[in-house]
Every structure is written in C-alpha cells, then in structure tokens.
Structure 1
Amino acid sequence: MSTPPPPPGQPPQDQPPQQPGFGAPQPPQTPPPTTPASGPAPQTPPPAAPQPGGYGQPQPQPPAPQPGYGYPPTAPQPQAGYGYPGGQPGPYGGQPNPYTQPQQGAYQQGYGYPQATVPMAPAVQPSGGRKMNAQLAIIGAAVVAIALIIGGGVWYAGTGDDGGKDDTSKSSGGTTGGGGGGDEKGGTTGGEGSEKVPSDPASKVLFQVPMPKVGEDETTVVEGSWLTDTVYAKSGIAEVVGYDLDKGTKKWTVKLPGPVCHASRFVGEGDKVAVVFQPKMPAKNSSEGCSQIAAIDLAAGTKLWTKTAQLGDSDIGWDNVTVSSGTVAVGSTVGGAAFDLASGDPLWSPKPTDTCFDAGYGGGPKLVALRKCGQYGNQTIHVQTLDQKSGKVVSEYKMAQGIEYASVVSTEPLVVAAEVGNSSGDSARILDFFSIDNKTGELRNRIAAPDDQYEVDCDGISEVEDCSGVVVGNDRLYLPTKEHDGATEYSDTNEIVAFDLATGKETGQRADAGDDYALVPLRMDGGNLIAYKTPPYDKGGQVVSIDGGSFKQTKLMENPADEKVRDAEARFRPGTAEVLFAAGRLFMADVYASSLGSVSGEPDYLFIAFGTN
C-alpha cells in the first residue's frame, strides 16, 4: 500500500523525513458509469481519505532505513573545486535574513472537493561528477517524503512559450510558467500568444477515464501528465498511457515494473519526459524505493531507457526529477545526478568525497540546482545555474543562513521561493520570492508574499518545483490574492496581481475574478497570462487569457453548468490536481489513486477532458 504523505508544512523531526511507500494495485477495472442521485454532492471527503494537507489522516509507516543515506554530522565548509565557479564559493549577493524564526518547509492546500460521476461522455478504460561528503554514505536515514505535483504536468508543446533563448523544454501548465517570450528575462508588453479565441467558449466533456483500481485501504501515486500537439499522456498505476486528444482512446501504453513516484513537469527535446518509479510492485504497507529513472518518448509512445545511480553499494532513492532541454536531472538527500535525455548516458552523479549535495533541480529553459551545504538543520542553500550537459556552474546565489527549504519557481527569469517566517510577530507566514540574475548570481530583488494576503503554496521539502498559484513571465511575478468579500452580499472573490521582478514592487496591474469566482494563474502564453477561474456552486469553471499589458481578460472556455459536470470539475482544482490547458482543451487529473472511491459511491475518475468546438 502506498501510505499517504504527512500533512505538508510539518517540520522534520530529529531524523530526516521518511520516504513513503507505494501501493500494490489490482489490475485496472472499468465499472460502467452510473447516474448519481440528484442533489449537490457532499462537500467533505470521507474521514479516512488520504488527502494532502488534511487533518486527522493516518500517518505513514516508515520503511526500513536504507544504507548510505543521511546528513553529515558536522557542518562541512564548501571546498574549492567542482560545484563552484572558479573553485570558489561564488557570489553571495544576499541580504541578512530579517526573520528570527524561519519556518521549516511550507504548506499546501488539501483536497476537499466532492467526487462524482460524469455521464455526459463515454468513459474510456485506462489501461560528470557532482560531489558530496563521504560521511553521507555512513549515516543511515530515509529520503525525504514525497509531495504532490501541485498543478503540475506540462502544457501544449507547440504554443511557443519560449521563456528564454535556450528554451527547448516547454513550460509547465500551472506553476512554473517560465518567461513569457521576449528578452532573456521574459519581458514583453503582452500579446503574442498562440491561444485562439473561440467563436463560442462553451465547452463540452470530451471524455473521462475511470480511476484505476487499487487494493483495499490503499492509495497509490499517479503523478504526471503531459500535453503535446498530438497526445495527452497520463501516469496510471505502473504505467504511462497516451490518449487521443479528442476521443480519449489509447494511442499507446508504456508499462513500468512498479508505481511512478515522481514525474517531470516539463517536456524536453523531441517531446520526451522523465519519471522516477519503483523497481517492482511493493507488498502492502511497504515500498521498494524510488530508485529507477526512465525517459519516455511521448511522440512514439516508447520507453527510451531506464537508469539507476549508486552511492556505495546502495541504489539512490530519488526525491524529484526534472527535464531541461536534452537533460534529465534528479535530486535527493544524498546528491543529484543527470542523464542525457535521448540516450541515457550519465552526465554526473554523487561522489563520496563531496562536501555538499544537490537536493533537487529546476528545469525548463535553464537547469538550476538547489545545492545544500552544512549539517542537517543548519544548512545553507546555494542556487546554481548549471550548464545542462557538463554540470559546470554558470552562476551562484547563496541564500541566507536559516533557510532550510526552497522551491524553484522559474529558471528563466530565475525566481526561487522560500518560506522565511514572519517579521511582525503575528501568525502570518511569509513566502519570499527571490529574483536572481542567473548570469551573475546577483540578487535582483526580494518580494514578500504573506499567506494571509496571497494564495500561494510551495512545498520545497522534496519536490523543489512544487509551487502552485504563481507564474513568472514578462519579467513579472503573478500572484493570486486570498479570497475576500465580493461586491454582492455573501459573495467571495479574488484578484491576480503583478510584481516587477526588477523593482520588487507591484506594477498596478490587477485582474478581478468577479463575484463568486476565484482566479488561479496557470501559465504564460507568449506575453499573456492563462488563468483558471474556479466557479460558484451553480456554474462551470472558466479559462481566460489576461493580456500582459492591459490586463484585459478574454474568455477562452466556459464549462457546462450541469450539476454532474460541476461536481466532477470541483474534484480537480489547481493546487490539488494537474490542470493543463492548450488549444481549446482542458485536462484535469488526479495525482492519487485510492480505494476509497467517491463520496457518493459512484465511480471515480483519473481525469476529465473538456473541449470547445
């Protein structure tokens, strides 16, 4: 059984976080969709539902510690040589941390949306050496707990959201939008998007795929979804399946020996992606470790290669995976490794002599490492822009002491988020966004986003690209505000606001969601911002394009207001699911397969697809 992760934001204890197990699923079965009873679906999940961020959920049983993992017992100093430009620690460029009580990790929203049947469309049956301390190979511990790909996946590969001169990896649909076209820092005046405005934005359900079956009281990770101009690909249980964009029929299936643990959110050169998975199906309440890395060709529907990396005599268990151009990079608590995306040839891997380790990488237009130095609980994070093939450090920024976890929001322009505590003594947590020049490593500016004002989640513990509710483009940072009272009685609403990455100040641009709607930024489309509007109880959701200059909204899609469709759509929301939109199609997918099913008892769905005419 894949045990659910602990509540996000929970600080590590004396030992590093344990790696969760994954479930042993039964072969997928497809019950015919049935019509649920009339009336609105229940608004709370079942008590035992393993939803991230929920309360009262069962805690995971830790697997047996693996040899060769852990943290150095003392705080080693960075050594001259590999991992630092010119053999030196590199430019620091940072400000002293003004916060006296930095928080460990960050928070995530839990689920909490009803699950319902959607009978409107036929259901489709799913079928170069980077170094680290030798002491790390001695201290026994498990790797960091798995986290959701919040709003992850990747979007339509032909939209032209370049984000930078070197970008051949298409940007994520929902969190790390990268640059929006234009110069190297992503600056434009808006426009130049490839999304066409439909004559009628009203959508219909194209198809939905049933949730694969798992054993009793089991939950299994099904992270990973990608959208190209020819296929929608989605991870199932121990497989990745490519679906026809309009019919939902299977175009191909790539079988894996064990469940998927992590999936890249970017599509690299030639429509290729990467996943980390277990080497075989685990027994109930156990894990086989997330040691296997594979590249998958989405165009051909084939697995290109499978690789592992060792430290001493043990396979390394990976906490995250990303793709940048033609490189696959994986990170862990004992260091990072990289492979050529097409051939699988190793580019670098951890060495017992390293004094620091790559905890993870941000991909897409550039490749950025979050490299940690020092003793666990007292580490320093070095944000390093790397050459994608050699691993050579192009530039480096050293974050302030006391920041234990960080997330890469965008690699071009470079933006890193970290929860740094609060400076006013109240209970509000503050997520700081560090705008960094990835040519020089100098800090451009620092933008604070208190969580009582902005609706942004960043994990940063193990999934270093795991930020939802934030997009970077046009050399701006786009954030949604917290919901607040609307103009009419009993209504709620929010806005998306823009910050200039050069000045750190608001630009004055503000997009209003409208009463009973809430705006969530998804990605850039050229110089325009694509956003999803969560709907009121009696309407369907919308997808809008926000002009990067005028901030005028244009409706690209509005989903049906039918009750059953609404209930199904409410189950998949940005921040708790993978939401991808391109070329008039919206795909909303789950990241867990559970034996609990829907609240109403009706069949649950792995994903649902909407489309306009």
Structure 2
Amino acid sequence: MTQPPPPNQPPDPQGGFGAPTPPPQQPDPGYGYPQQQQQQQQPDQGYGYPQQPDQGYGYPQQQPDPGYGYPQQQQPPAAPPQQPYGYPGQPPTQPQQPYGGGHQQPAQPPYGYPAQPQQTYGGYQQPAPAPAPGGRKLSAQTQIVIAAVVAVVLIVGAGVWYANSGGGEGKGDEAKGTAGTSQGANGTGGSGDTKGLGGGGKEKAPANTKAKVAFQLPQPKVPDVTDVSGSWVTDKAFVKPGVNSVVAYDLDKGTPLWTLPLTGQVCGASRHKSADNKVPILFEAKKRVAPRYYQQCTEVGMVDLNTGKLLWSTSVTGGTAGDEKARFGEITLSGKTVAAGGTDGGAAFDAANGNARWKPQANDENCYDLGYGGGEGLVAVRKCGSYDAQYVMVQNLDPMTGAPLSQYKMPAGVKYASVVSTKPLVVAADVGETAGDGSGISDFFSIDEKTGKLKAKITADADQYAARCRSTKVESCSQAVVGNGRLYVPTEEHEGSTGEYGDETNEVIAFELANGRMVPEKADAGDKYTLVPLRMDGGNLIAYKVPPYDKGGQIVSLDGGTMKETLLLENPGDKSIRSAETSFSLNGAEFRFEAGRFFIAETLVSKTRESTSTYDKEYLVVSFSTTG
C-alpha cells in the first residue's frame, strides 16, 4: 500500500509570518528514517526559488481548532514528540532554477482613487500595475500634466526594468518577478495574437434569447445562520444542499425529484463533479441543536446526483485530532481522488469506495496542508516552518499517492494562498495584506506545475480589479477564470460614457500566463451593466451581465481571443422578477449556466424573517430558461 503524503497541522493562531525558512535536506530514502536538520552549506535560494518537496513527518506544534464554523481561539504551540514518522517515498529531484444593481458588496474606493504605494518583494520595488481600462474622463489640462509625468516615469522605469531583467547570475528571482507584472515592459501589454484562441464551446445562442422564469425556491426555515454552499446541474436536475439533506429539483418546475437525508448539515461541497455526476461532500455527524447550533464537520461522503444515493461515507482520525475524528473545512475532487482539508490536517480517499489514500499525519518540519485545489490536477497549499518563521508552499501532487511532483515557495508576507486553477497552475494571494479591500488578492502567480518555477506574477490592484478569494479557503475564488493560457478578470465598476447617475460599467480583461502581460483585447459590459466571468466553455468565456435598474440580467459568451460578445440569454425586466434576480449578493451567491438555463443560488441562509412585500422575499434559488 502506498504511503501517505506530507501531513498536516492547524494554522498559525496568531497569523504571524517571519522570514521564509529554507526547506529541509532530503531525508534518507529509508522508511521512517529520522529527519536531519539542513546544514548551512547551500546558498540562500530566496523568494520563489523552486523547492524540493519536504518529506519529514512529526508532530505539529499547535492545539486543535475548535472545529468547523466555531469561533477560533489563539493557542500557544505545543512541543513535538520524539518519534518522527516516515516519508512515503522520495519525490523526483527538481531542476535548480531561479524563478523570475441591488448587490451587497463591500465598499470600494472610488474608481480612479490614488493607487496604493508600490510594494516591494525580495527587496526590489515592483513596477506599478497596469491601469484598468475605462476610467473617468479627465480635463485637457489634467491629461497634459499626466502625460508629462508618465513620460518621465516610462523613461526612468524602462531603465529600471532593463537593469533588473538581465539573465545573469544572482539576478534570477527579481528579474523573473518583474517580468510578471500586470503590464508588459513596452507599456502596451501582451502580443495581441488571438489566432487559435476562442471557439469550441458547447453553449450556442438559441433562436430566441429571451428567458422566462423557470422556478423560484424560498429559503428554508432555520433557527440560525446555516451554510448551504454547493450547487450542481445535471441533464435532469438542479441539485443543492438543504437542511440536513441534499435535494434535487426538476429543471423546469423546481419540484423535488429526490431528497437525500443526512445525519447533519452539509458543511463542505466540491466544486468539481465526475463525468457520471458523482460529487463529494462534507457533512456533520449530528444535527445542530440550541443553544450553540453547531456540530463538528467530520463526515466525508460521495453523492450520486442521478439517483440521490449516498454511495459511501467515512471519517478518519489523526493529525491534531489524535484519536478523535479529524475535522475538515473544504473538499474537492481530482480524477479518482477525493481530498479534504482542514485545521486537523488533510486526507484523501478513493472516489470509488471511500478507502483512505492518506490520512492526517504529524510532521516534524511543522508543515500542514491548508487545503487542496482539484479539477484536472491536485494541488495542496501547505504552511511550513517554525512558529515564528512560517512560509507557504504550493505543491502539485500525485493524486493517487499524495507525493509532491513539484512545489513553489510563496514570498514572505503570504499567510494564505488560493488555487484558481490546477492545470495550468494559477494561485492568488494577498501579499503582506496589501489588498486592503477584503478581496484576498493582491497578486496572481502563474506557476509551471511540472517544475515549480514561477512564470509570472500579475499584480491585481484592488482599486482596479474585482476578482475575490476567501483567504482562509484554498478553493474559493470567484470572478477569476483561467483558459487559453490566459487569466480573465473583471475590472471594478466605474463611470460609464454618459456620466449619468447609476451609469456604472466595467470590463473583462486578460493577462497572458506565460509573461503576465495584459492583452489588448477586452470585453466592455456596456453602460449600466457589470460583467462577471463565470467559467470557460471550450475556448470561450461564459459571463453574467448584472443588470441595471430597469432591465434583466444577461448571460453572454465571450470569444477567448477577440473578446467578441454573443448573447445567450436575457432575463425579463419586470420589476418583481428583476427584484428576485438582484436579491442575491454578487460576492455571496453561486451562478450556474448550463444548456440555456441560468441558476442563482444562495450559499448562506439566516434565521427566517417574515416578508412584508413582494419585492422583499428571500430566495434559495431562482432559475431562468430559454428552453421550452
């Protein structure tokens, strides 16, 4: 039986980070051989240098977290035990290469507000991020002043960039890092070559794009805040967690097709499902009761979305949970492997039968998995290092064994990282907590998943770009989509062409993952609409256009190369229907579009309150359709 991969440990209760600690020396291949501390013989590899996957096991130095959803308490580290656990096998050696409107949204600074001061990474100042297109109109005098300033900056900046972009020894880290800013060195962005991009999508424009309401589901009655995250679409049903259950609804009528009762509330749901409509979930072993209305999230299960059957369920012990059941916070699927992560450690299971591939383990290098990103690959975000000098690693794993295939060390100041895509590997992080807007993103990192080498770092100024990630969740990003070798993100809303009240709009822009440069093509939402990227459809990008006050929303397909828009669906503009559509928070709802059907679903429901108006109802799901 294959041995488990590197184990897990709960997060730093104080959130503090010090200087990154170089990873340990490779251990003796022998199973269970004690780990040796690395000697100070090798030169400092520096920020972003491809790291050898760490291999040792030992006991984590932190107290268990109280569990899923329960308020966290800071705990001092505990001393490790004397007996380290063996590593499952020696991963391949990596090449030694340096890295180079009714939506409830958080308040944002006005568009055009002065940008944050330039940040420094590795001791070098990074070039300013590229401005998002579509800013406010400026007076002629202001434009002349700005043009003069920009000219000076470009002259000086070009010299700085040229000096830092050489390929000589000792310049690897910073040279590669500056190549990954959000604009090319020539100031004009990417190459603009769209040949071979776009097209090949399954979603086609119907003869009539006018949609009708398919169904509306009221929120369930709950005594306290309840997480109902997760929603999936099959050819027959829309499936969503309910109260202590998973329920499938008829696509046309919204009537229940089946209900799967569970021992407790669903507390984690995979974004990915298998080709035959099987999806892993997390759920609680008991039902929630007053006064705490809380249970631990310990059960892992696989649901058949076609039949409503729970194919298997299990739990594991180990990690900081000891002999108790390990608690998890999120779950994902990659091929034949289900992976669950949490404060007690990470575990993986055979998707067919639930047999454990690996369990949470103690680690004498103070490493633990924050969680996993699934889909085409399996990527772990891993925190390592001593209590006062922690750093974050991004590891591309073999999904069958958990052995690291490559890894990348995030820069100092990164406490958490979120996986946007596993193949190609794109990670988001808030470096030094500089985003300042609650988005969880200051930069995107394009990483070669085979070598662990950084290809580009894309600066995403919070005043300009609107993608979001929940920093403490590894697979939680929204409004950031990867395809065609590009990263697609929306800009923040800004004043439209008319300058009238309520005339706000935005764009979707793209960055090349190979070099981090912004491409010249962009998609304009149009006055009073806001574009929200949802997912890739072949080489095309499916996006939702949030409606103005007097129209319904739209679903469009954007050609991934030219960014040309094709209308797929347009919702009714009736006040009551539009009120239902816009009753969801843009940053707190799930948006699904499949085969001419559009679903908006809630992720969190609160204690039920009585509605006093037709326009004040709270919905679990609203659905629109162009079919029938």
Residue 306 in 1 paired to residue 318 in 2?
no
Could you say which residue in structure 1 is the equivalent of 2:561?
549
Q: In 2, distance between residues paired with 1:332 and 1:513?
A: 38
Choose from 469, 487, 505 the match for 1:493: 505
Can you list the C-alpha shifts for 1:493-525, whole angstroms capped at 9, x where unaligned?
Answer: 100001000011011111000111100100000
| Correspondences of 1:94-109 after superposition (within 5 Å) | 94=99, 98=121
**Matched residue of 1:565: which SS?**
helix
Alpha-carbon distance change, 286 to 425 in structure 1, aligned in 2, over 3 angstroms: closer
Choose from 334, 340, 344 the match for 2:344: 334
Q: CA deviation at 1:99?
A: 7.4
Q: In 1, distance between residues paired with 2:464 and 2:14?
A: 23
| Correspondences of 1:182-581 after superposition (within 5 Å) | 188-215=196-223, 218-284=224-290, 285-311=292-318, 312-353=322-363, 355=365, 356-376=367-387, 378-421=389-432, 431-461=442-472, 463-490=473-500, 491-581=503-593
Aligned identity (percent) is 47
Q: Does the Cα contact within 8 Å between 1:233 and 1:241 map onto a contact in 2? A: yes
**Matched residue of 1:587: which SS?**
strand
Q: In 2, distance between residues paired with 1:80 and 1:530?
A: 46
Q: Give the counterpart letter for 1:565 in structure 2.
A: I
Q: Does the Cα contact within 8 Å between 2:419 and 2:426 map onto a contact in 1? A: yes
Q: In 2, distance between residues paired with 1:223 and 1:377?
A: 35
Q: In 2, distance between residues paired with 1:528 and 1:282?
A: 43
Alpha-carbon distance change, 16 to 493 in structure 1, aligned in 2, over 3 angstroms: farther
Q: In 1, distance between residues paired with 2:85 and 2:485?
A: 34
Q: CA deviation at 1:351?
A: 1.8
Q: Does the Cα contact within 8 Å between 1:99 and 1:423 map onto a contact in 2? A: no
Q: In 2, distance between residues paired with 1:418 and 1:63?
A: 22
Alpha-carbon distance change, 187 to 586 in structure 1, aligned in 2, over 3 angstroms: farther
Q: CA deviation at 1:379?
A: 2.0
**Matched residue of 2:579: which SS?**
helix
Q: Give the counterpart letter for 1:306 in structure 2.
A: S
Gaps of 5+ in 2: 1-12, 18-61, 101-118, 124-193
Alpha-carbon distance change, 221 to 63 in structure 1, aligned in 2, over 3 angstroms: same
**Matched residue of 1:252: which SS?**
strand
Q: In 2, distance between residues paired with 1:598 and 1:506?
A: 48
Residue 62 in 1 paired to residue 68 in 2?
no
Can you list the C-alpha shifts for 1:469-512, whole angstroms capped at 9, x where unaligned?
Answer: 11000010001001111001221110000100001101111100
Q: TM-score, normalised by structure 2?
A: 0.70
Q: Does the Cα contact within 8 Å between 2:443 and 2:458 map onto a contact in 1? A: yes
Q: TM-score, normalised by structure 1?
A: 0.71
Gaps of 5+ in 1: 1-9, 23-60, 101-185
Q: Does the Cα contact within 8 Å between 2:65 and 2:344 map onto a contact in 1? A: no
**Matched residue of 2:121: which SS?**
coil
**Matched residue of 2:427: which SS?**
strand
Could you say which residue in structure 2 is the equivalent of 1:140?
none
Could you say which residue in structure 1 is the equivalent of 2:129?
none
Alpha-carbon distance change, 538 to 424 in structure 1, aligned in 2, over 3 angstroms: closer
Alpha-carbon distance change, 99 to 455 in structure 1, aligned in 2, over 3 angstroms: farther
Q: CA deviation at 1:604?
A: 2.5
Q: In 2, distance between residues paired with 1:308 and 1:518?
A: 43
Name which structure has the greater RCO, CA cutoff 8 Å, separation 6+: 1
Q: CA deviation at 1:84?
A: 6.6
Alpha-carbon distance change, 478 to 64 in structure 1, aligned in 2, over 3 angstroms: closer
Q: Does the Cα contact within 8 Å between 1:92 and 1:396 map onto a contact in 2? A: no
Can you list the C-alpha shifts for 1:416-441, whole angstroms capped at 9, x where unaligned?
Answer: 00101478999998621110111111
Q: CA deviation at 1:599?
A: 6.2
Can you list the C-alpha shifts for 1:262-294, whole angstroms capped at 9, x where unaligned?
Answer: 111111242111111111112222422111111
Q: What is the alpha-carbon root mean square deviation over aligned residues? A: 3.3
Query: Looking at CA atoms only, which structure, 1 or 2, has the larger radius of gyration?
Result: 2
Q: Give the counterpart letter for 2:573 in structure 1.
A: A
Alpha-carbon distance change, 227 to 427 in structure 1, aligned in 2, over 3 angstroms: closer
Q: Give the counterpart letter for 1:460 in structure 2.
A: S
Count of residue pairs the alignment pairs up: 473
Q: Does the Cα contact within 8 Å between 1:530 and 1:545 map onto a contact in 2? A: yes
Q: In 2, distance between residues paired with 1:563 and 1:213?
A: 26
Q: Give the counterpart letter for 1:384 in structure 2.
A: Q
Q: Give the counterpart letter for 2:447 in structure 1.
A: I
Q: Does the Cα contact within 8 Å between 1:395 and 1:440 map onto a contact in 2? A: yes
Could you say which residue in structure 1 is the equivalent of 2:5?
none
Q: In 2, distance between residues paired with 1:600 and 1:213?
A: 16
Q: Does the Cα contact within 8 Å between 2:437 and 2:462 map onto a contact in 1? A: no
Alpha-carbon distance change, 192 to 17 in structure 1, aligned in 2, over 3 angstroms: farther
Q: In 2, distance between residues paired with 1:425 and 1:604?
A: 30
Q: CA deviation at 1:309?
A: 1.2
